[in-house]
Amino acid sequence: MKKLLAVVAAGCLTTMAFAQQDPQFSQNMFNRLWVNPASAGSSEAICASLLYRAQWVSFDGAPKTGVFSAEAPLANNKVGLGLSINTDEIGFENSFTAKLAGAYRFDVGNGKLALGVDFGIVQTTIDGKFVAPDGTANDPAIPQNSVSGNAFDLGGGLYYNSEKLYIGVSSTHLLESEVDLDKFTKEYKRHYYGMIGYTFELTPSVSLKPMVFVKNVTDNTTIDVNVNAHFNNRFWAGLSWRNEDAIVGMLGLTLIENLRLGYAYDFTTSELKDYSDGTHEIMLGYCFNVKKKVPVSIRNVRFL
């Protein structure tokens, strides 16, 4: 069973083209810039985050994914800029994405509505050292040497946020770019995303922050529903549910001022549960507040 991923990947190679899905994450509340460029600068702080995900532990060739994001507000918080860099490894395939995001923000009611776009490159490399499972060793579609290709990428989105609420819709791979890899091509299918989150203040020291995150590509829709309880703006713990895939436990703490560490563990609920030891995901985030100081009597609740 550990060869499952290799077999599936080899099957993909026998076609002239195959589609690529964006990597899956569990701590999406800390990873909004990656899927929605309009969120750049929405925290009104200079922020950076790093997520690393090891999926389906114990599978040979299982996905290992990392994404780094940085963002900053400019022009009195009317403009946001962002940078995202992603690496994704699954079996003998390695993908790299780098994109720049820009957003313009308008005052709407008690919050701001932003329109954003991002552009960059996507690169795919197939390792020529791939050893095919029995039955595909002589497949002419499997490269005997490493092959690599890249293409231009484009995304866009809308994002609204106020003190307690945020809502976003976006799409990645708008051009559905194709990467030429010698004897076959890889197509980045268009993805659609939606997210909504809110902060409920139960007491001065306890708050609940639910979020719904939706991803759609071709005929596949993934829904994440989660809630985190935050205590004294220092600790948090929560649960998440992903349809037909996993139940996720989440923990986190503020190590020092503005430096956060988060951890998520996916308990697999699909048919893979008998063969996988789950999924680990780590988040490290830091924000430097550039807002003007306000009187201590005014509370400013910011959700990263």
Question: pLDDT digit string (tens) for 243-276?
Answer: 988 999 999 999 988 899 999 999 988 877 677 7
Q: Take residue 227 and report the two structure tokens written for it.
A: 């809630």
Q: How many domains does the chain have?
A: 1
Q: How many CB atoms lie within 10 A of CB 258?
A: 14
Residue 241 lies in a domain: yes
Residue 294 lies in a domain: no
Residue 297 lies in a domain: no
Residue written as token pair 């708050």: 207
- Range with the lowest mean pLDDT among 12-21, 185-194, 225-234? 12-21
Residues 197 and 303: beta-carbon distance below 8 Å:
yes
- Range with the lowest mean pLDDT among 20-34, 130-144, 178-192, 230-244? 130-144
- Coil, strand or helix at 33: helix
pTM, full prediction = 0.86
Residue 249 lies in a domain: yes
The CATH number of whichever domain residue 19 belongs to comes to 2.40.160.40
Side chain identity, residue 260: R
Residue 301 lies in a domain: no
Residue 300 lies in a domain: no
Question: pLDDT digit string (tens) for 286-300?
Answer: 999 876 545 544 444
Residue 115 lies in a domain: yes
279-289 and 259-268 beta bridge pairing: antiparallel
Instruction: In whole angstroms, give the CA distance from residue 80 to residue 61.
Output: 37
User: Mean per-residue pLDDT for 34-46?
Assistant: 96
Residue 302 lies in a domain: no
Residue 50: give the domain boundaries.
4-289
Q: Take residue 290 and report the two structure tokens written for it.
A: 């550039």
